[in-house]
A = this chain, B = another copy of it.
Amino acid sequence: MNKALSTAKPDKEAIIFKAAVKIMTQKGFHKARMSDIAKEANISYGLIYHYFRNKDDLFDTIIHRWWGGLFRLMADMAEQVIPLHLKLMRIISYFLDTYQRHPGLVTIFITEISRSTANLTTDQLHHFKKFMLLTEGVIKEGQKQGILRSDFKARYLTNIFLGAIEAFVSTMVLADQKLKGNAQKERIASSILEVFINGAKHQVRPSNPALTQEASTG
């Protein structure tokens, strides 16, 4: 029998994966039951254990896909010479695009990883720090090039930049909002990028005169 034909069967592992993402998105890791996932995948729940060692393994696989894509992006960029704002734009786009295509994946990242000390395995924490460092590398480069101000730690600017992205995604996740087309996506992306770059750009004049003035008059 033709093997190629028989593999037309729907890849069970992918089905389970998808079901797991959906259920964990809805209920969160702790409240997601293996039986829920099985039901969603339309299989018996014993079968999950043929494809995944256990619940944690299933979770890790999901998270791995998220990190995998992100690290691939960062690695790609590291090898190329790209202007700062385009690099930042790519990072922003990764979040927004992934949210558009796989909202659940992003939701799980936001709810279970990005903020959870409790669930964070050393492994996950390591990924998280690594991503922060890679982004910080991009920022530092911008500082070296004189595009970004250097009187603030690169780490601080990194927080501000990534925080903005996360806030948009979080808001959408919490409100169960979809991204309405590419126009919205681009507006969001440019708002993050412009505000960040303008706000963090190298200042010719002393730090923030207007601000200080207002403060003194207030």
Interface residues of A (CB under 8 A from B): 25-28, 30-31, 82-86, 107, 110-111, 114-120, 125, 128-129, 132, 147, 152-153, 156-157, 159-160, 162-168, 170-171, 173-176, 187-188, 191-201, 203, 207-208, 210-211, 214-215, 217-218
**Alpha-carbon distance between A198 and B156 when the two chains are bound, in angstroms:** 15
**Alpha-carbon distance between A173 and B125 when the two chains are bound, in angstroms:** 12
**Min CB gap A194→B, angstroms:** 5
**Alpha-carbon distance between A93 and B168 when the two chains are bound, in angstroms:** 22
A192/B115 in contact, CB under 8 A: no
Name the residue on B nearest A170 (C-beta). B115
> Across chains A and B, which 10 residue pairs bring their CB atoms closest together, nearest first?
A199-B199, A163-B167, A28-B118, A83-B218, A195-B199, A163-B163, A115-B115, A159-B167, A30-B30, A160-B164
**Chain B CB within 10 A, most for which of A115, A175, A194:** A115
**Alpha-carbon distance between A85 and B199 when the two chains are bound, in angstroms:** 14
**Alpha-carbon distance between A164 and B159 when the two chains are bound, in angstroms:** 6
A83/B164 in contact, CB under 8 A: no
User: Which of B160, B166, B188 is A191 in contact with, Cβ under 8 Å?
Assistant: B160
**Alpha-carbon distance between A199 and B88 when the two chains are bound, in angstroms:** 15
Name the residue on B nearest A192 (C-beta). B160
Contacts of A120 in B (CB 8 A): 174
A174/B208 in contact, CB under 8 A: no
B198/A194 in contact, CB under 8 A: no
Name the residue on B nearest A194 (C-beta). B208
**Alpha-carbon distance between A163 and B188 when the two chains are bound, in angstroms:** 13
**Chain B CB within 10 A, most for which of A114, A120, A164, A168:** A164
**Chain B CB within 10 A, most for which of A26, A83, A86, A167:** A167
**Alpha-carbon distance between A119 and B110 when the two chains are bound, in angstroms:** 13
User: Which of B30, B170, B200 is A195 in contact with, Cβ under 8 Å?
Assistant: B200
